[in-house]
Amino acid sequence: MVIYQNISLKPYNTFGIDVKAAQFVEVNTVEEVQVLCTTFNLSERNKLIIGGGSNILLTKDFDGMVIKMNLKGMDAIKEDQNHVWVKAMCGEPWHEFVQYCVAKNLSGVENLSLIPGCVGAAPMQNIGAYGVEIKDSFEELFAIEIESGKLVKFTNAECKFGYRESVFKHEHKNKFIIVAVTFKLSKDPKPNTSYGAIQEVLKQKGIEQPSIKDVSEAVIAIRQSKLPDPKVLGNSGSFFKNPEIPLAQFEKLKLEHPSIPGYPVGTENIKVPAGWLIEQCGWKGKKVGNTGSHKDQALVLVNYGDATGNEIYQLALAIQASVQESFGITIHPEVNLI
Ligand code: EPU
């Protein structure tokens, strides 16, 4: 394990922001993580733990230690008549884990194809797309407690998953490093095609009884058609979360904006697509200096070249202010601002 000084983080964040880390270390094993926690007294240090770097906006040089999780490996560890349990180490790219499951015809994560990032980051914000979240197939995870270096297990209930939420963004923030995640996948494929866009792709291809692979390929096609590839155009996926507003406020807005989309959350709240709100405010496809809101999906902010993190942050603030002014709705970043 080598600790480097003054390293550029540009290759380690999908926005492609060029800031420096005072210290940088890559860890490859659970033992190395434990050594860092105990010998290097990590709990007392300013630290940033990264996987794929796909959900962060770096706004300035990081005056502390950046730890890149590089633990690899995926295995089927248990099986019964209906399920297979697959354990994946935190540094595995998320999509490679999905492909592993799809290739074995195991169902549960196919709708989450092509989401950037690593396995270890997925539970942090209960990643989700096209009607599915990881909490639906998550069994348990293993994490190192930073203060003690001990390996601790968390069950699904203990992670307190919500919409882009988990216990690791709240009471356990900065207290644990996730090292491995186990998923319970189904051998009896029941594809979730509730999302309209998936149905459209399958219909176009004339597929009536889709396999797990068909659904995965449909999701890949949808994502590639409207989400920019971070390797080509720096971005962090959805920049904001979709806000939930009270039903009464939604009804009132609907009188003024009859086309406003909304999805019920329980009986009292409505989730409104932030992408729609941002588009209505005129930001979609708009370029501001080196940054802007993407032309095919307004919720995605992009780096057209040499944008600084602060430039993107300023754009986010301007978008937030105009959505507030036009709709009286506060949108919150999904991306972590560092
Ligand atoms: N919309 C617009 N204009 C836009 C974008 C969206 O009007 O520019 C409206 C449309 O009404 C559309 C609706 O928003 O029907 C929903 O759009 P979309 O299906 O693209 O989904 P989203 O709500 O914008 C969420 C996730 C995505 C995930 C998709 C698909 C959040 C914050 N984002 O986006 O996740 O891929 O659903 O399920 O929940 C990510 O988290 O990085 C991410 C990409």
What's the fold here for domain 74-186? 3.30.465
Closest atom of ligand 1 to 298 CA is: 8
Gyration radius (Cα) of the chain, Å: 20
What's the fold here for domain 3-69? 3.30.43
Residue 276 near ligand 1, beta carbon < 6 Å: yes
What does the pLDDT average to over 290-307? 97
Residue-level pLDDT at 50: 97
Residue 112 near ligand 1, beta carbon < 6 Å: no
With residue 215 as reference, give the H or E element that holds it: helix 212-226
Where exactly are the structural domains of the chain? 3-69, 74-186, 234-337
Kindly report, residue by residue over 49-102, the tens digit of the pLDDT. Answer: 999 999 999 999 999 999 999 999 999 999 999 999 999 999 999 999 999 999
Going across the sheet that includes 20-27, the strands are 3-8, 20-27, 62-69, 47-50
Please give the share of the chain, as a percent, with pLDDT higher than 90: 97
Closest atom of ligand 1 to 237 CA is: 42
Is residue 227 scored above 90 in pLDDT? yes
Is residue 323 scored above 90 in pLDDT? yes
Same fold, 74-186 and 234-337: no
Q: What is the DSSP string of 65-129?
A: EEEEE----EEEEEE-SSEEEEEEETTSBHHHHHHHHHHTT-BSSGGGTT--SBGGGTTTTT-EE
Is residue 224 scored above 90 in pLDDT? yes
Residue 238 near ligand 1, beta carbon < 6 Å: yes
Summary mean pLDDT of the chain: 96
Residue 196 near ligand 1, beta carbon < 6 Å: no
Residue-level pLDDT at 40: 87
- Residue 55: count other Cβ atoms within 10 Å of its Cβ: 25
Known catalytic residues are: 164, 238, 334
189 pLDDT band, cuts 50/70/90, is: confident
Is residue 190 scored above 90 in pLDDT? no
- Ligand 1 centroid–CA 211 distance in Å is 24
Residue-level pLDDT at 29: 98
Is residue 156 scored above 90 in pLDDT? yes
Look up the pTM and report it.
0.94
Residue 297 near ligand 1, beta carbon < 6 Å: yes
Kindly report, residue by residue over 206-219, the tens digit of the pLDDT. Answer: 999 999 999 999 99
What SS3 state is found at 131? coil
CA atoms of 171 and 45, how far apart (whole Å): 19
CA atoms of 213 and 104, how far apart (whole Å): 10
Which residue's alpha carbon is at the smallest distance from atom 27 of ligand 1?
Answer: 129
- Ligand 1 centroid–CA 275 distance in Å is 6
62 exposed, middle or buried (CB, 10 Å; 0-12, 13-18, 19+)? buried
320 pLDDT band, cuts 50/70/90, is: very high
- Ligand 1 centroid–CA 183 distance in Å is 25
Strand partners for 244: 271
- Residue 243: count other Cβ atoms within 10 Å of its Cβ: 18
Q: What's the DSSP call for residue 253? A: H
Which residue's alpha carbon is at the smallest distance from atom 32 of ligand 1?
Answer: 241
Return the CATH class of domain 234-337. Answer: alpha beta
Which residue's alpha carbon is at the smallest distance from atom 24 of ligand 1?
Answer: 275
CA-CA-CA-CA torsion for 25, 26, 31, 34, nearest 10 degrees? 40
